[in-house]
Structure 1
Amino acid sequence: MANVSNCEIPEDLYYFIEGKNTVWAKVEGSDTILVGITDVAQTMAGKVVKVRIKKKGMKIEKGKPVSTMESGKWAGPVPSPVTGEVIETNTEVEKSPVLVNQDPYGKGWLVKMKVSNPEEIKQLLTGSDAVAKMSEIINGEKLQCKRL
């Protein structure tokens, strides 16, 4: 686990980084991933007050919203790191959105997806490459991560 300005960056996860939008993916099987937002993303958003997750069975293209979130200072889409189908949603996060802030890599996960093209996972950043890219964002935004 890398730690930059108090921001946790698990090196065993895969990251989709588009501008300041940072999403993680955890490979759970040959064609299944768990998806959520990073510690950096939850810090930039502030206290999350509403989470809307796409319904089970929906097919989502890479980069298109898998969820939308609202906080006191931000509202917007959470992009899907790969193309696939939502096979499970985290209903606890919809009931208690602050879980995203409290435990972004654990209880704050958003969806489980069946990946359409496993090659897309290889296009995501992981390990030291992910840490370097996240560090650029953290330093560029002068962030200090904190959990609620």
Structure 2
Amino acid sequence: MHSELIERLAARGLTLAVAESLTGGLLCAALTEVPGASAVVRGGVVAYATDLKSRLLGVDENLLATAGPVDADTALAMAEGVAQRLGADIGLSTTGVAGPDPQGGKSVGTVFIACSWGNTRKVEELSLAGTRNEIRSLTVHKALGLLASIVS
């Protein structure tokens, strides 16, 4: 799936930037393991700490203070911010709680993925089960699926 996605983006001349929190770089790594990814992937930002979501990705501090880092609007702001800051056509983001403990009132397995491309913006809330590593891996898979659905 990864190689087809990279090929599809390259054929359309589109570039991609990734903003990650709970996946800690796994999403960008999955994309860049594909030969030819350098024509598509501009880069990624791992904004694991909440303050970095604001400083590096431009997520509004008030949004982070009221909604928190694990939120649909935060995920969308991350996607939009990384695309703008890294000069990409498309922004893709992940944020959530992988465990082992709940965070900020959100249960383990609560995940938001978002994609922003021009006027197209899509956010999905996921409720995932499994170990920390399984939740992170499933998040990567779901985020790639979201991206594929947007650029189909």
Greater relative CO (CA pairs within 8 A, separation 6+): 1
Q: Where is the helix percentage greater, Structure 1 or Structure 2? A: 2
- The answer, yes or no, to whether TM exceeds 0.5 is no
Q: Where is the strand percentage greater, Structure 1 or Structure 2? A: 1
Give the structure-2-normalised TM-score: 0.25
Give the structure-1-normalised TM-score: 0.25
